[in-house]
């Protein structure tokens, strides 16, 4: 029997019936009180090479060292595990972001700050991720244009994409839809990683306290 593989373009209709949501006896608020900060999702979106992973892991380190419960959900790592069955087609990307949004929401409900670093090029997909944790979702636009990212090309992926060795590469052969109203924008063309992390730390200290 083939591995069930899902490539839908919207929130799936729930297939399972006869299931009942069970409430935790410990609320998110109790967890937040214990941790002395709010739980939530910091959703980093931007092109490959814009600095999402660098900033995500940098911010995680800074927050951890200040006593926060924090965990990075990184696109590349998730594609080795939870989303190993998905490709980079539009449908595959949508399902990847849907699942990541659900997992990030679980961490948020557990009282943790989940920093999610995914290209997540489609606005509609990011809305679905937001919908999983609507009151605790903070979109962070890690902003750098294609020319800048291509000049950096830390993994040599733009070169491969231009050579036609990678299909569906965001910014080259697949679109990127920038956020309309991200809660935070870090401009990595102008800021050093250290400066961007400082902006994000200030945001967290303001919004998650």
Of residues 113-172, those binding its own copies (CB under 8 A): 132, 155, 157, 160, 166
Q: Is 209 exposed, middle or buried (0-12, 13-18, 19+ CB in 10 A)?
A: exposed
* CA nearest to 63, candidates 33, 43, 35: 35
Q: By rule CB under 8 A, what count of residues binds its own copies? A: 72
Distance CA(39)–CA(186), nearest Å, equals 21
Length of the chain: 209
- Told to judge if 120 belongs to the known catalytic residues of this protein, a careful annotator would answer yes
What would you report as the CA-atom Rg of the chain, rounded to the nearest whole angstrom?
A: 18
The interface with its own copies within residues 10-29 (CB under 8 A) comprises 10-26
DSSP readout, 64-95?
Answer: HHTT--EEEEEHHHHTTTTTTT--SSHHHHHH
If you ran DSSP here, which 8-state letter would residue 136 be given? G
**In the bound complex, what is the minimum distance in angstroms from residue 200's beta carbon to its own copies?**
15
Residues numbered 28 to 57 that lie near its own copies (CB under 8 A) are 30-31, 34, 53, 57
Tell me the closest approach of the beta carbon of residue 203 to its own copies, in angstroms.
20
* Nearer to its own copies (CB atom), residue 77 or residue 192: 77
- Binding residue for its own copies, selected from 32, 60, 125, 150, defined by CB under 8 A: 60
Of the two residues 23 and 180, which places its CB atom closer to its own copies in the complex?
23
Q: Residue 18 or residue 180: which is nearer to its own copies going by CB? A: 18
| Interface of this chain with its own copies, residues 167 to 196, rule: CB under 8 A | none
Q: Which of 45, 69, 188, 196 is in the footprint of its own copies by CB under 8 A?
A: 69
Binders in 82-101 for its own copies, by CB under 8 A: 82-92, 94-95, 99
CA gap 44, 160 in Å, rounded? 24
Q: Which is nearer to its own copies, 63 or 182 (CB)?
A: 63
Neighbouring C-beta atoms of residue 6, cutoff 10 Å: 14
């Amino acid at each position: 029997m083939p591995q069930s593989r899902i490539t839908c373009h919207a929130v799936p209709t729930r297939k399972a019936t006869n299931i009942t949501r069970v409430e935790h006896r410990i609320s998110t608020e109790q967890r937040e009180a214990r941790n002395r900060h709010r739980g939530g999702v910091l959703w980093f979106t931007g092109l490959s090479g814009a600095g999402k992973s660098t900033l995500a892991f940098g911010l995680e380190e800074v927050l951890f060292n200040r006593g926060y419960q924090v965990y990075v959900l990184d696109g590349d790592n998730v594609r080795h595990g939870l989303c190993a069955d998905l490709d980079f087609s539009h449908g595959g990307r949508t399902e990847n972001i849907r699942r990541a949004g659900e997992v990030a929401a679980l961490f948020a409900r557990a009282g943790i700050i989940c920093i999610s670093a995914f290209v997540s090029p489609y606005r509609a997909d990011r809305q679905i991720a937001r919908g999983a944790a609507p009151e605790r979702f903070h979109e962070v636009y890690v902003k750098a244009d294609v020319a800048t990212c291509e000049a950096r090309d830390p993994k040599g992926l733009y070169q491969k994409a231009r050579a036609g060795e990678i299909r569906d590469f965001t910014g080259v052969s697949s679109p990127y839809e920038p956020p309309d109203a991200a809660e935070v924008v870090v401009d990595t063309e102008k800021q050093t990683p250290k400066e961007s992390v400082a902006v994000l730390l200030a945001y967290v200290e303001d919004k998650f306290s």
